[in-house]
Structure 1
């Protein structure tokens, strides 16, 4: 079972990423782009994910993943119940979401520095 503390440090350590609180809820941004956010009760994690792949992700594990709200469907976004994720899986989702909003050279540099993933 993953909790917000499993990914909080990672979100602040990734290149160009920084935490912000919006109406009390934690979000991670690169520039002005939000790539991960958490519900106020810290049980749901929203994360950047390709639109064309999200239906397949949700269908593959509906107990873990959910489509975003109707107003968020226009964004590259998926929601996950943190309690259904293990910590390494949650960290991997954060890194993959970060990759969507940074230049490829930063993503490649991360891979070189972390050959076994976010751990």
Structure 2
């Protein structure tokens, strides 16, 4: 289980990550591009993922991962905070950040 506070800590620990709300959700961004967003009730988080990984996550654990209709055309998977393992969420957030961050920031992150 991951609490909303732990989610904030994990997301904001990434280089130059910041939070700016949108659509009533806490949105985590790098260079003002969203890589994750938490539901207003703090129950779930939508995280940017590759299409093939999204399908694998949902198929492997449909109680934790889903793709609601409003995310079908976006590269996002919805994760239930009550059932996701903290290390798995950290990894998914890091990969989401990596696919969103500018190249120079990614290079600095990888270098150090």
Give TM class, smaller chain. 0.7 to 0.9
The aligned length equals 112
- 8 Å Cα contact 2:24-2:40 kept in structure 1: yes
TM-score (norm 2): 0.83
- For residues 24-103 of structure 1, the aligned pairs below 5 Å read 24-67=24-67, 69-103=68-102
Cα distance in 2 for partners of 1:37, 1:72 equals 12
Q: Which runs of 4+ in 1 moved over 6 A?
A: none
Cα distance in 1 for partners of 2:35, 2:79 equals 13
Question: Which segments of 5 or more consecutive residues in structure 2 lack a partner in the other structure?
Answer: none
- 8 Å Cα contact 1:6-1:91 kept in structure 2: no
Displacement after TM superposition at 1:84 (Å): 0.5
Cα distance in 2 for partners of 1:107, 1:32 equals 15
Range moving further from structure 2, 94-103 or 83-92: 83-92
- 8 Å Cα contact 1:3-1:87 kept in structure 2: no
Question: Which segments of 5 or more consecutive residues in structure 1 lack a partner in the other structure?
Answer: 114-119
**What root-mean-square deviation, in Å, do the aligned CA atoms of Structure 1 and Structure 2 show?**
2.0
